[in-house]
Amino acid sequence: RFSTMDRSRVLVLFLVAVLCVPSSDGANILAIMTVPSPSHHIWNRVWMEALVDRGHNLTVVTQDKDTSRANLTYVLLENVYPTLFKDGASNYVEMSKESALRTVFSFLDYYDSVCEGALASKGLDVIRAYPKEFKFDLVIYDYGCGPCLLPLLHKFNYPPLVSLTPFNNPPYSVDVVGGHKQFAYTPYFALNYDSKMNFQQRAYNTLLCLLSSAYALLI
């Protein structure tokens, strides 16, 4: 599993790489947040505030409402949460009771609903209305809920892209940021297995991981 220590190391390496840019040469950065989650927003806000304090200018496309300040502008995708919870479509309590196999599909369907809400948000029109000549030096992308908003790269003439996430457990993470998740000892995140699995557990774990990766490519 991607341990707390591993997550901390990834965050430290990311911050060292980005914060080494001299503050006198402040970058214009677009941050695209795909995961509707207050806890994700708290995690991401740490590096956002750090970059602003270093003299960089951030425009943040997000589902979680926050207060803009100098050099930190939030563009709210206001329709994501209403879409998720429309007619009880997303019930976190019920989702927590699902089998690991069902989780493969329900989580990725959840990502699809996030995209639907984002595309229906007036906030997306705000960022799309930026002039074509507007330049972003860097795009930072929380890829947790998929590539729905990545066409913004084309809008702004493909600036360099840095992908990150506070939740690196899904097996398809390796397709985005590299690394490995060997099925023989890395359990699918919805399973209560540790790294020591018997043959039957490894076979079931492999099935779930392959299904998750394949389904992520389809939606």
DSSP letters for 15-61 = HHHHHTS-GGG--EEEEEE----HHHHHHHHHHHHHHHHTT-EEEEE
> For tokens 């490995």, what's the residue?
180
Please give the Cα distance from 135 to 168 (Å, whole number).
Answer: 30
- pLDDT at residue 94 in the model: 73
Strand order in the sheet with 138-142: 72-76, 57-62, 28-33, 138-142, 161-164
Please give the Cα distance from 31 to 45 (Å, whole number).
Answer: 10
Please give the Cα distance from 199 to 182 (Å, whole number).
Answer: 14
Task: Find the farthest-apart pair of alpha carbons in the chain and give their distance in angstroms, rounded.
Answer: 57
- pLDDT at residue 103 in the model: 85
- pLDDT at residue 177 in the model: 77
- pLDDT at residue 109 in the model: 82
DSSP 87: G
- pLDDT at residue 68 in the model: 95
- pLDDT at residue 169 in the model: 80
Residues 6+ apart with CB under 8 A from 12: none
173-178: long-range contacts at Cβ-Cβ below 8 A with a sequence spacing of 24 or more?
175/213, 175/216, 176/143, 177/143
- pLDDT at residue 89 in the model: 58
> For tokens 């939606």, what's the residue?
219
- pLDDT at residue 56 in the model: 97
- pLDDT at residue 2 in the model: 46
Each residue's pLDDT, cut to its tens digit, for the chain (219 residues) gives 445 555 555 555 555 555 554 445 789 999 999 999 999 999 999 999 999 999 999 999 999 999 999 999 999 999 999 998 886 656 666 777 788 888 888 877 888 899 999 999 999 999 999 998 899 999 999 998 888 999 999 999 999 999 998 888 888 788 777 778 888 898 998 899 999 999 999 999 999 999 888 877 776
- pLDDT at residue 7 in the model: 56
Q: Which helix (H) or strand (E) holds 72?
A: strand 72-76
- pLDDT at residue 180 in the model: 80
The torsion defined by the Cα of 201, 203, 204 and 209, in degrees rounded to 10, comes to: 120
Pinpoint the alpha helices (H) of 71-151.
80-84, 92-96, 100-119, 122-128
